[in-house]
Amino acid sequence: MPSRGRHQSTSKEGKAIMKRIEALDGVVGVIIGRSYGGKSLGAGSTTGSIKVQRQVPGGIKAAMQSEKGLQELFIRTEPGTEEAITKAIMAFT
């Protein structure tokens, strides 16, 4: 499923991470949300770094470091796979 959302531009590193997430078992798709310029995930975060914020009905909310700030992501998942997907995403960074 292609990435969709209000703001569809992201860095090369971000696109590569989203493709890795979409390839995980149980992921239906990745939806790109709002961008926040000038924000950061914190010390040591590089472009493409991801922080899982919380699990919600239907998926996982996350934030990704882009070249210009933060990018919101919503990762749609199949029911019951959220925990395994969260662990796999945290292993990326």
Distance of CA 52 to the CA centre of its chain: 8
Which of the four pLDDT bands, split at 50, 70 and 90, describes residue 12?
confident
The DSSP output letter for 24 is: S
pLDDT tens readout for residues 37-58? 776 666 667 777 888 999 998 9
b/e code 2-28 from CB counts within 10 Å (16+ = b): ebeeeeeebbebbeebbebbbeeebbe
Q: Does residue 23 have a pLDDT over 90?
A: yes
Look up the pTM and report it: 0.79
